[in-house]
């Protein structure tokens, strides 16, 4: 079975966290946020990820983006999906969104140096999902796309280029390597 019981449970959990409890949208768009974690799960599935990696991809923003009244914790994920999946989600999570953008992104880049292959794969799928959407939006709407973000165009693109370089330097055989290289080339053309 490809669509396992646990993957179905992760989809329901992610939908509750992002859609039911907060009607979360993609930055600056009238598109349900849930499309992103589901896209990450699909990308991971197509890349040959295992069940824990796919589940972690579907859940990767639940800790970071849950609301205080329905706060998702690593412990909650461990109870429902196992310690391995919870650790994987935690590894790619920005834990304190009150920290300034520059510092959070610097810490994330530094943490890539200690990522496991599974963490690198989930982070790669997250970048592929986010940046392919940004590239498509840029081709449609141009520079105004960057008004949606907390950082300037230069900082945002610079961050993602650095993250891609860090991931590729850590794992040459990454199954998403060609996607990351395509995104890197597209971002350089926008820059």
| Residue 148 φ/ψ, nearest 5 degrees | -75, -20
The residues with which 25 forms a beta bridge, in sequence order, are: 32
Angle at 59 between CA 53 and CA 63, to 5 degrees: 125
67: helix, strand or coil: coil
Choose, from 51, 53, 65, 179, the residue flagged as catalytic.
65
List, as one string, the DSSP characters of 157-170: HHHHHHHHHHHHHH
50 is catalytic: no
Angle at 51 between CA 135 and CA 87, to 5 degrees: 85
Q: Would you give the end-to-end CA distance of the chain in angstroms?
A: 43
Contacts of 43 (CB under 8 A, 6+ apart): 57, 125, 128, 129, 176, 179
CA 58, 63, 64, 66 dihedral sign is positive
64 is catalytic: yes
Catalytic residues: 64-65
């Amino acid at each position: 079975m490809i669509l396992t019981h646990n993957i179905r449970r992760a989809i329901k959990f992610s939908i509750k966290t992002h859609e039911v409890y907060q009607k979360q949208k993609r930055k600056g768009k009238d598109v349900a946020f849930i499309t992103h974690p589901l896209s990450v799960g699909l990308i991971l599935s197509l890349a040959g990820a295992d069940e824990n990696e796919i589940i972690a991809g579907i859940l990767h923003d639940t800790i970071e983006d849950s609301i205080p009244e329905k706060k998702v914790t690593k412990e909650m994920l461990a109870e429902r999906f196992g310690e391995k999946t919870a650790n994987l989600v935690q590894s790619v999570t920005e834990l304190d969104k009150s920290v300034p953008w520059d510092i959070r992104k610097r810490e994330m880049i530094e943490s890539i140096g200690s990522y496991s292959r599974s963490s690198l794969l989930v982070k790669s799928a997250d970048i592929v999902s986010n940046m392919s959407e940004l590239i498509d939006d840029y081709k449609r709407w141009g520079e105004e796309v960057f008004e949606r973000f907390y950082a300037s165009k230069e900082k945002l693109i610079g961050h993602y280029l650095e993250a891609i370089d860090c991931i590729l330097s850590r794992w040459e055989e990454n199954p998403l390597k060609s996607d990351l290289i395509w995104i890197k080339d597209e971002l350089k053309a926008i820059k």
